[in-house]
Structure 1
Amino acid sequence: MRLSRRASLGLSAAALALLSSGAAMAADYTLRVHTLVKSPHPYNDMAAAFKEQVEAESGGAIEVEIFDSGQLGQDPAVIGEIGFGTIDVMISTTSNAVQQIPEYAIFTMPYLFQDMDQALEKVGPGSAVEAHFQQVYEERSVGMKLLALGASGTRNMSTVSVPVEGPGDLDGLKMRTPPSPMDSKTWAAFGMLPVTVAWGELYAAMQTGVADAMESSLPGYTGSKLYEVAPNLALTAHTIQVNHTSISQRTWDKLPEDMQAVVLAAAQAANSFGVEKAKGYDDALVETLKTEHGVSVTVPDKAPFIEVVSPMQVQLAEELDLVEEYKLLTE
């Protein structure tokens, strides 16, 4: 049977209406995800994995939009927006959240973990550390819910002009730190002069002499092209970077229980995925930095660095009121 042109147009309009209805159903919830970093970086890989799993497991009921490279702002401002529910999810380093969660400072304690696998075992899903920080979020009323903690690479040192072979090379250098008392006290122990600089302002700070030295993950160092202003890389591996995936409490409360379960499972899976990605990045990026960007790489003996910081660990935990967190991570 042939349809008239008018009937065909009517059917087409109905089909479009049906498709539009389906699209509306698919967008029942939209999660805006923030990362601070440029690719390649485990945080962006984690965000992509989170998006894929959430959209698939929710049957399309949740749409995930990723905003990387600090498009939505620097971490402190984003945390405030998450509290209001205008940004839904963030994946970032715990060190950038110490103003709101001072207990996160424990994760910048040098040589706390042997490697990323041990870090994930200590802080990952079902751990006492994860449960502790979920409770801290509630007690501090930060407007966020902790979905997962993970490990995303070693943090290493780089300088503008001084190749670092040992602790003696650090004396007198202006060391960039995030707003973390643990970082400031640690680097001061090496005779360095800590200066607090936001991540987004770090390139300019190194370029203009506000800071002489910095420390970061290798993906962060590479993705932000910090090798251009700090071309001397020392593989100190002084900390294993711990990251958090947090969601706005307001957003969480709007989700039905079955969708909450989907989001939580995806966040935890993404953190495990991030560990494996971070391992690969650390190995590959060192070679890339040397061969493609002319970075001078040193591999200092860790023992002299550990000798300086080990006696400080208990003292720092006491001074910064982090004794409970230190015990959870070392027992």
Structure 2
Amino acid sequence: MRTCVLSDVGELSLVERNRPTVEADEVLVRIDYVGICGSDVHYYQHGENSGNVVEFPHVLGHEAAGTVVETGCAVSTVSESEQVAIEPGIPCGDCSHCSGENTYHLCERMRYMSSPPVNGALREYVAWPAEYVYSLPDTVPLRAGALVEPLSVAMHACERADVTKGDTVLVTGGGPIGQLVAEVAMEQGAAEVVLTDVVPEKLHLAEQRGVDHTVDASSEEPAAVIHDRIDADGVDVVLESSGAESAIEQTTASVKRGGTIVFVGIPFDAPLPTDVVGLIGGEYDLKGSFRFSNTYPDAIEAVQTGRIDVEGIVSFEQPFTDTHAAFDRAAELESVKGIVRVNGQS
């Protein structure tokens, strides 16, 4: 099978590797589409991400959907020829997080597709435990199936924030996660959603997707805009989806006393607000949001029913043979989400 290999920083190429064999509890999936995540781009550009260092050669990609071509002898949940989305994490199943309700995503022995040393989905075939492979309805395109993973991240973030009907919400960052977080918040009944970024194209996309207000953080201070146009006391919820230090600094200034701040974007050397007295006086709920758990069925249903438009965040699609170019394009500031077509048809 063809496999896209990261052989060094900035070096991607197609090589031939053996097709994997399936264990009794696994299925073999012909990969049709893979979304390019920001973490993939960081591995591509730097050889590491959030302390995880690549041992070359390595295979990237964890947002994947495809078609089952073989099932292990113990598999009964999916069948050959079914189109599926792959949940990319395999928890250990034995630790306290795995035994808890909806906490398996916190497993410290999690094997996560494309996170070193686990190879990713940018290859023609992947063998994966059937427990983490979900059938897609006929009405859900495979390309949309590949985006169930980032949608799951957004859904988990909004769950952590407890976004409810009538809330005012600030989303910082107009990348793929920020765009989906904003849409999930709107779908959950938020009264007003504000999205900030410094890239005009991303702000325009957010406007097209229905957010109530956008703020160009390169020319306006988000907190000042919120206090002036939304509520003098601030918003109920802030979902920080950029990882940018300037956005992190705006979180406590933008939220009202007793409000909730959820950190979703992965920062690089950006500290949390350090005004402990202010945090105490504001009685803010500060939360992290890490990946997701048990979200795939709900996310697939949201795509199937049209409640969430995942394909609307796609900036471009390129064939497997142009994966190197796709990663360069995905790194451009204007790009929101790039898709690699491994075996599928547009």
Do they fold alike, i.e. is TM over 0.5? no
More helix by share: 1
More strand by share: 2
- Which structure exhibits the higher relative contact order, with contacts defined as CA atoms closer than 8 Å and separated by 6 or more residues? 1
TM-score of the pair, normalised by structure 2 = 0.30
